Structure 1
């Protein structure tokens, strides 16, 4: 377990923090997956923009967590990364 994971586990013991984390976890997962997939492909935001048709400024805002992308935008980004978007209820 990394230092960050350990810190998160400690912070999640605080009820107020845990509630806030739960409310924003999905947005965090989306931006983390997008960044990881882009870096895995060794692509810049600009390159992903060209391949996906999504403006680079929007990609930046999504990755910074400033905005939450629509499903259509996520699907276009996935295509630009050579991936398929899959959503599951677990």
Structure 2
């Protein structure tokens, strides 16, 4: 049986797919950071919604990638989890 990593490695041989994959990485990093921060505190979306005043449905949309958050919204989420928001620019890796 082929694992996901095997499948991904095979698919990443396609240069067009690699470009698309890399293009969505920043959005995926934001989604992953939100979910990881929330789950590391054992918070449900509903609990985070109550802490932040952000509708639970909107938190769900952020986490499934159907809504892009503003910096202010990210700050509210961080505050609701007792965290601070850090955004950074990093050099691209040379191929």
Structure 1 unaligned residues grouped into runs of 5+: none
Structure 1 stretches of 4+ with a deviation exceeding 4 A read: 3-7
CA deviation after TM superposition for structure 1 residue 81, in Å: 1.0
Which is greater in Rg? 2
2:76 alignment counterpart: 76
Match status 1:45 vs 2:39: no
* Aligned-residue CA RMSD (Å): 1.5
| TM-score for both structures, normalised by structure 1 | 0.87
Q: Provide the TM-score with structure 2 as the length reference.
A: 0.83
Greater per-residue helix proportion: 1
SS state at 2:88 partner: coil
Aligned residues: 88
